[in-house]
Amino acid sequence: MNKEQVTARYRTPDGLPVDIAIFTITSHAKPGSYKMLADRKLEVLLVRRSARSSAFPGQWALPGGFSSESETLAEAAYRELQEETNIGADVHIEQVKTVYYPGRDPRGWMPSVLYCALVNEDRLRAISPDTDADEAKLFELDEALRLNLAFDHKELLNDALTFIQTKMMTTTIAKEFLPRTFTIRELYQVIQTVVPDFQEDIANFKRNLLTTKTRQGLIREAIGSDGEPLTTDRNSNRPAQLYEFADYEPRISIYNSGMF
């Protein structure tokens, strides 16, 4: 096909929707007279479609909307995020994939560019159902996947999940779910929350992370303004050392265990 014979001769899409899977990890403190590690759960934000919708009325769906000619796709995703939450700037947003196949949307030729956002729970205090009449709610992931979601959003949600699971193991995005400084155990919990398959002795996890040559520069001890190492007692009575991610994205390989 020749790119020159464009709009005149060919039908054009009916829009270019952008959908976004907004993930967060919530921690629920366990009751008890002693301080214990919080339960962490991976949750995703869904919105309920209006009862008057022409397609999938009343069903839960990923937040989304149409991108416009005057904005980038990431800007459109960001705008959707803003409309459903009250999160400010510098949120981590990544494009997952773009889908289209005939029949995926009863309203016509509707591709969808899928984004995902990783949001720290601290920044998701109030989910503002906003001016829109639509309802927005965080669901635990399993629950969300059991719902009868609108469109092909169940597949999209699964794709987004696989995407962040891969990223969780191969990049430092765990930091998006953590405060700037965190304990080793918190990091470990976040990884396990997103990737339940990840099972490892925490003592070894810690040693491998901190004392291993190939992982030098990944995280470092958090140092306070007084030059002393920072600690926290938010997870236990005994204070724990705080760490922070350094600016290093390791490159890994299946061919030589470790980095290259």
Partner DNA sequence: CTAATAGTGTCTGTGAGACATTATTGA
Partner DNA sequence: TCAATAATGTCTCACAGACACTATTAG
Q: Which residues bind DNA (CB under 7 A)?
A: 32-37, 183-185, 200-201, 203-204, 206-208, 211-214, 231, 233, 235-241, 256-258
Q: List CB contacts of 76: < 8 A, sequence separation 6 or more.
A: 18, 65, 66, 67, 68, 113
Given a copy of itself, DNA, none, residue 183, with its beta carbon under 5 to 8 Å by kind, binds: DNA
Tell me how far the alpha carbon of residue 225 is from its chain's centroid. 31
Q: Which of 159, 166, 135, 127 is nearest to 145 (CA)?
A: 159
Nearest approach, Cβ of 242 to DNA (angstroms)?
8
CB of 239 to DNA, least distance (A): 6
What minimum distance in Å lies between the beta carbon of 96 and a copy of itself? 10
The residue type at 89: A
53 is an interface residue for a copy of itself by CB under 8 A:
yes
Binding status of residue 257 toward a copy of itself by CB under 8 A: yes
**Which x/- pattern over 107-146 shows residues binding a copy of itself (rule: CB under 8 A)?**
xxx-x-x------------------x--------------
Binding at 37: pick from a copy of itself, DNA, none (beta carbon under 5-8 Å per type): DNA
Q: In this chain, which stretch among 20-28, 119-127, 140-148, 213-221 interacts with a copy of itself, using CB under 8 A?
A: 213-221
Q: CA Rg, the chain, in Å?
A: 21
> Closest separation between CB of residue 41 and a copy of itself, Å?
21
- Min dist. Cβ of residue 162 to a copy of itself (A): 11
Scan residues 57-116 and list those touching a copy of itself (CB under 8 A).
64-73, 80, 83, 95, 97-102, 107-109, 111, 113
Helix, strand, coil share of the chain (percent; to 5): 25, 25, 50
| 206, 200 contact by CB (below 8 A) | no
- The item of DNA, a copy of itself, none sharing an interface with residue 131, based on CB under 5 to 8 Å by kind, is none
Report the site for a copy of itself in 145-204 (rule: CB under 8 A): 169-172, 191, 197-200
- In order, the DSSP letters of 144-202 are HHHS--STTHHHHHHHHHHHHHHHHHHSSGGGGGS-SSB-HHHHHHHHHHH-TT----H
Q: Is-contact 219 209, C-beta < 8 A?
A: yes
Taking residue 208's Cβ as centre, other Cβ atoms within 10 Å add up to 13
Candidates 8-16, 33-41, 137-145, 224-232: pick the segment binding a copy of itself (CB under 8 A): 8-16
Q: How many Å apart are CA 64 and CA 115, to the nearest integer? A: 10
